[in-house]
Structure 1
Amino acid sequence: MTVNLPQLRAFLAVVDAGGFSAAAAELGMSQSAVSHAVASLERELSAPLLVRATPARTTALGERVLPHARLAVSAARSVEQIAASATETMSGIIRLAATPTVCQGLVPRLLRHWREDQPRITVRVFEGDSAEATTWLDDGTADAAILIDPEPGPGIQLAVDGYRALLPRDHPLAGEPAVDIRDLEDDQFLISPNGCEARVRTIHKLAGLRFDPTHRVRDLATLISMVQAGIGVTILSEVSRTLVPPDLVLLPLTPETSRRLVLTGPQARPWHPALRTLAESAANHLARTTSQSNV
């Protein structure tokens, strides 16, 4: 039995992209070449790994093979990048997972910096909720993630992200320098359950209020639109400020609470060398930005 890396890469690309056509575009290959690579892997294993459907999905055997394929491809990429780093030609693709608010509010600035500072490294973003980002990092779907309040470990703290009240500009409290959540008790409260609900519950608990949201909205754009429509108010993090339209205001909130946004890699396996380069680049950028803002 001879299993090779191109076969494993093709298999993973089909799984991650959801089909052979999308996998071909991801790999820069023809669709027939991807199909041939996966078919040859299945012949080597004497059983199908994928159900050819839309989207493509793994068979029972494919599901068992998947984590090992990820580890093998990840290890090979690490070897390649270690060699590249020795000759100062760091390059490659890093798959970065983050939550919607982080993807929309923080990641674009990071991508712009990395494109200028490390043009040979390509960063591809995977957007999901906090649990998905952690799972993708653990199972190898992602090489890196921006996690919210992770356990102590290696990583670069990108921001301490405070929570704010999001109100329409015609709200009676919109002109105040800050808002006490107790003063919003009579407003209908909207919540997005994507990772922040536990912290919003904590804010209510600190204020001695019962947490009883009127609406739960998964999509951030929908949440903001509902506040625009006057349906209620909500709490967002400071990193969301760039997403706030001009007819809404984002105001400091008491009781105060915040979250840490940390760029990190997997805990159970070595980091991709290109990720270490990106982390160092981000740390240097943050240090320069902080130094300039203190002048």
Structure 2
Amino acid sequence: MSLNSDALRLFLAVVDAGTMSAAAEMLGQTASGVSRGLSRLEEDLGVTLLTRTTRRMELTEEGALFLQKARGIVASLEEAEECMRMVHQQPAGRLRVDASAPVMLHCVVPHVAEFRRAYPAITLELTSNDRIVDLMEHRSDVALRAGPLTDSTLHARPLRPAPRWLLASPDYIARRGEPKDVDELLQHELLGFTQPESLNVWPLRHAGGSSFAITPTLATSSGETQYQLALRGVGIACLSDFMVRDELADGRLVKVMEHAYTDYLQPLNAVYYRNTQLSRRIACFLDFIAARM
């Protein structure tokens, strides 16, 4: 039996992509070529790694065990390659960055072209998830997360925190009027989150304290969806400042109940595992993004 890193990477691509055709697209191969490669790997190992039907694939017990080992081997190979590149002081290799859609679109995407010019040897992979994901499960090297952190196994680098504003379109205010206090606010269309509930606590000063828990009349899983709904006059949303600077400047959105704002700043952190050595490509990405935020 003779295994090589290409066979391991092919297996990981099939598992992560979920289908032969998606893995083939990821690897730049044909679906039939990927299928043959996986079959050869199973023959070399003498086990079935994946049960395959016309609709889906599932890991066998042996496949799940091999997956864990294969990820570790490929990660070690990439780390060895990274060490060799570090000798020449050239940050290079694949960098997987995960963030919620608003953070990705408003904090990362505007700077990607400049980053690529500065570090052409780094291959970026950008993914968006509006829920907190497991970095290992999603094969992410670093994630940008808004809000308080709860996972103590992660190392965090604080980035610039942002205030959250209550916002609506001028059209909505013209139709419904501006609420003057939290009692009037409850009579309005409130755009909130399906989860986590902590994002439905708005930073508002009132008789009961400096925060106010709302019950959304329309709930979404994405801040970007709320942003689009607010622009279209559907209701009032509580959004991070980095999402709406241009819209506030040109009047497409206006602040609501500004007299009740607090000095709350929503944390924004870049996180990665404590038990992994910070590679040069992660370090240069964090330095680059921090400087621009």
TM-score (normalised: structure 1): 0.79
CA contact (8 A) 1:162 1:237 kept: yes
- What is the alpha-carbon distance in structure 2 between the residues aligned to residue 10 and residue 95 of structure 1? 18
Deviation of the 1:144 alpha carbon:
1.4
CA contact (8 A) 2:202 2:214 kept: no
With over 3 angstroms needed to count, the CA separation of the structure-2 counterparts of 1:210 and 1:154, relative to structure 1, is closer
SS of residue in 2 equivalent to 1:212 = coil
Q: Which amino acid aligns with 2:76?
A: A
The residue that corresponds to 1:213 in the other structure is 216
SS of residue in 2 equivalent to 1:3 = coil
The residue that corresponds to 2:102 in the other structure is 101
With over 3 angstroms needed to count, the CA separation of the structure-2 counterparts of 1:35 and 1:198, relative to structure 1, is same
Whether 1:223 and 2:226 are equivalent positions in the alignment is yes
Per-residue CA distance 1:262-287 (angstroms, 9 max, x = gap): 2232223334442223223334x34x
Per-residue CA distance 1:212-245 (angstroms, 9 max, x = gap): 2212122445434443454421111112226859
The residue that corresponds to 2:16 in the other structure is 16
| 1:162-201 equivalences in 2 (<5 Å) | 162-172=163-173, 184-193=185-194, 195=196, 197-201=197-201
Deviation of the 1:142 alpha carbon:
1.0
- What is the alpha-carbon distance in structure 2 between the residues aligned to residue 67 and residue 95 of structure 1? 19
Deviation of the 1:84 alpha carbon:
0.8
Per-residue CA distance 1:149-192 (angstroms, 9 max, x = gap): 33676444332122111212134499xxxx87666232121212
Whether 1:248 and 2:247 are equivalent positions in the alignment is no
The residue that corresponds to 1:141 in the other structure is 139
The residue that corresponds to 2:69 in the other structure is 68
With over 3 angstroms needed to count, the CA separation of the structure-2 counterparts of 1:31 and 1:171, relative to structure 1, is closer
SS of residue in 2 equivalent to 1:265 = strand
TM-score (normalised: structure 2): 0.79
Per-residue CA distance 1:189-213 (angstroms, 9 max, x = gap): 1212355x41432636744645322
With over 3 angstroms needed to count, the CA separation of the structure-2 counterparts of 1:237 and 1:229, relative to structure 1, is same
SS of residue in 2 equivalent to 1:129 = coil
CA contact (8 A) 1:14 1:56 kept: no
| 1:52-67 equivalences in 2 (<5 Å) | 52=52, 53-54=54-55, 56-67=57-68
Whether 1:150 and 2:155 are equivalent positions in the alignment is no
Name the Cα RMSD after superposition.
Answer: 3.3
Q: Where does structure 1 lack aligned partners over 5 or more consecutive residues?
A: 290-295
Aligned residues: 280
- What is the alpha-carbon distance in structure 1 between the residues aligned to residue 171 and residue 138 of structure 2? 47
Percent identity, please.
Answer: 23
- What is the alpha-carbon distance in structure 2 between the residues aligned to residue 209 and residue 155 of structure 1? 28
With over 3 angstroms needed to count, the CA separation of the structure-2 counterparts of 1:92 and 1:201, relative to structure 1, is same
